[in-house]
Amino acid sequence: MSTSQLPWPSSALLPAGWAGVRRLLGRCLELHAAGALPGTLMVVGAPGLGREAFALELAAALVCREAGAAGCPCASCERVRRGVHPDVEVVAVAADKAQISIEQAHAVVANIAQLPYEGRRRVVIVADGHTPPLGADAASALLKTLEEPPAHATFLLLAGNPRRVLPTIVSRSVELRIPPPAADELAALVAAVQRCSGGRAAELVTAADGDAELALRDGGDTLPERARAIEELAAAALAGDGLALLRTAAALADAPGGAGLAVAALLRLAARTGGDGAEAFLDAAAALLAADARRAVLHLDLESVAVGALAQAAARR
């Protein structure tokens, strides 16, 4: 399936078959058939974990003049999935820009007023409703249309965290949350993205402690090995090995999702140790989480805050 006209990799469409995505889609189509589907929806979920697939499948069903059902294989629906249907527009940051511009917003407002070219409706999908990349001026230009879309139009705003969406946008949207995948669904997606076997994909998911975004990101294919190394280093660091402490912090800074990977390792150590011995690992995990939160707020580097957190935990042991 070619997705060259869409701003996402083809793997982003694989969750269309997930049970939770299909249930949510079915409910939305029931509301649409009853004339009760809101005109502006905020589709909340992590990138690549169902929100794009849901938005495209809903858009396809809304514009389809044939079955108008989930998974319809007609030519119209396939064009939506390839990003080339004239009644479905995906608004994303242009290649030469840093954010969605006010010019793009004005074009959306002008185009959405026109009746559908060939489908039953017109659908606009905003690929990322956060500000940024949805510029504040662009968001303001869309407000009136989002509040009262034309009768023939539906807006789908994709977001990972509604708190990063302007309150004026949130107040004009009805939020839909993409359900999390089942373990086998996630493993199949990881296998496709990381181009590995099902068994290796399951190992990656386990190493990421079920964190789908961590297992899918660049470098996620090395998670099991990194997790084992961090686990060994963290155990030595909390036993008082100063060099291991420094090497643990350096490994966290170098690993994808380093803080989350370390916390998962510490929790596994606590579970294996049990009893009073587990307390030190649990304290270290809590200290590392708190330090990582401070790092994000103060824009510090992970290596330095990890050294401080682990050193404090080792001193209390």
Domain count, the chain: 2
pTM above 0.85, yes or no: no
- H helices then E strands: how many in the chain? 14, 5
pLDDT at 1: 43
Domain boundary at 142, 177, 212, which? 177
Domain boundary at 177, 211, 230, which? 177
> Where on the phi/psi map is residue 35: left (φ > 0), alpha (ψ -120 to 50), or beta?
left
* Residue 252 within any structural domain of the chain: yes
Q: Which residues pair with 91 in a beta bridge?
A: 126
Do 292 and 255 form a contact (C-beta atoms < 8 A)? no
| Same domain for 106 and 164 | yes
Grouping H, G, I as helix, E, B as strand and the rest as coil, residue 134 is strand
* Residue 228 within any structural domain of the chain: yes
CA distance 41 to 29: 13
User: Pick from 139, 157, 153: which is nearest to 54 by CA?
Assistant: 157
| Same domain for 160 and 40 | yes
* Residue 191 within any structural domain of the chain: no
CA distance 46 to 29: 22
Cα dist from 246 to 292, 310, 314, whole Å:
16, 9, 12
Q: Tens digits of per-residue pLDDT, 248-300?
A: 888 888 877 778 888 888 888 888 888 777 888 898 889 888 888 888 788 88
| Same domain for 240 and 125 | no
| Same domain for 252 and 116 | no
The range of the structural domain enclosing residue 106 comes to 10-177
pLDDT < 50 positions in the chain: 1-3
pLDDT at 219: 66
**Signed CA dihedral, 9, 12, 16, 22: sign only:** negative
**Signed CA dihedral, 107, 108, 109, 110: sign only:** positive
* Residue 285 within any structural domain of the chain: yes
Which value, to the nearest 10 degrees, does the dihedral of the CA atoms of residues 153, 144, 175, 54 take? 30
| Same domain for 165 and 300 | no
Measured in whole angstroms, the distance separating CA 270 from the mean position of its chain's CA atoms is 29
pLDDT at 3: 47
pLDDT at 4: 55
| Same domain for 166 and 36 | yes
Enter the tokens of residue 25.
């889609």
Q: Which residues pair with 275 in a beta bridge?
A: none
